[in-house]
């Protein structure tokens, strides 16, 4: 941690415990859909999708490497200068695969965050590679299908229901001697929320704060 030199003023005894609020924006919704013909006249079999999502989660999501971009690039590779989000979960619900992605503090992530905050309804679209068999005007994706990313953020997704909602989640932390403490703050917040009378609330706050300091 980098700080200013002491200006001669007496050190605030609370300055060692810096309370920080951090809000994280997520998008959540159907990222992938199987057994349905999308706008590009493609259909992904559920068996193919289940197998590939399992591989993708193991190789990328679980390791913090499942990245997506704002807009669809031309190729399958991930362009780090265009990354806007990180996929943190991808789970099956019937023929849909519900994803959750954290919007990152990258240039493209900030654009996505601004659009969401202004009420723009965004969609997601996957990128991948695989063989295609055409029958009756429908392109059926083969079992060799591999995801490059489960979700790029787009304005017009190919999957019928692949529109996502923005979710703002906040956490509060206390910095103590090189460690971040979250649990105590959360417990204090929950306890304060149960005090309804204003007089009780103020006394409750003081008691909990004293308890918190005694635990440090």
Catalytic center residues:
72, 125
Q: Considering only CA atoms, which of 81, 91, 136 is closest in space to residue 111?
A: 81
Alpha-carbon torsion 54, 124, 80, 167, what sign?
negative
Question: What is d(CA 19, CA 174) in angstroms, rounded to the nearest whole number?
Answer: 5
Residues whose CB is less than 8 angstroms from the CB of residue 94 and which lie 6 or more positions away in sequence, other chains included? none
User: Which DSSP string corresponds to 115-183?
Assistant: HHHTT---EEEEEEE--EEEETTEEEEPTT-EEEEEEEEESS-SSTT-B-EEEEEEEEEEEETTEEE-H
Torsion of CA 158, 163, 166, 167, to 10 degrees: -110
Residues in the chain: 216
């Amino acid at each position: 941690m980098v700080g200013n030199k002491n200006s001669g003023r007496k050190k605030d005894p609370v300055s060692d415990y810096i309370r920080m609020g951090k809000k994280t924006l997520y998008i959540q919704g159907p990222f992938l859909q199987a057994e349905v013909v999308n706008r590009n006249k493609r259909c992904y079999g559920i068996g193919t999708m289940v197998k590939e999502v399992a591989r993708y989660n193991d190789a990328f999501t679980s390791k913090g490497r499942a990245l997506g971009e704002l807009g669809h690039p031309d190729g399958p590779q991930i362009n780090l200068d265009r990354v806007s989000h990180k996929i943190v979960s991808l789970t099956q619900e019937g023929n849909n695969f519900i994803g959750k992605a954290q919007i990152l503090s990258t240039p493209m992530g900030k654009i996505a965050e601004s659009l969401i905050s202004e009420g723009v309804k965004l969609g997601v679209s996957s990128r991948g590679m695989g063989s295609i068999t055409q029958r009756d005007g429908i392109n059926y994706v083969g079992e060799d299908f591999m995801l490059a990313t489960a979700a790029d953020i787009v304005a017009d997704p190919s999957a019928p229901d692949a529109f996502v909602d923005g979710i703002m989640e906040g956490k509060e932390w206390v910095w103590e001697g090189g460690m971040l403490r979250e649990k105590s703050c959360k417990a204090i917040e929950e306890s304060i929320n149960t005090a309804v009378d204003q007089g009780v609330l103020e006394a409750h706050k003081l008691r909990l704060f004293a308890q918190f300091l005694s635990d440090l």
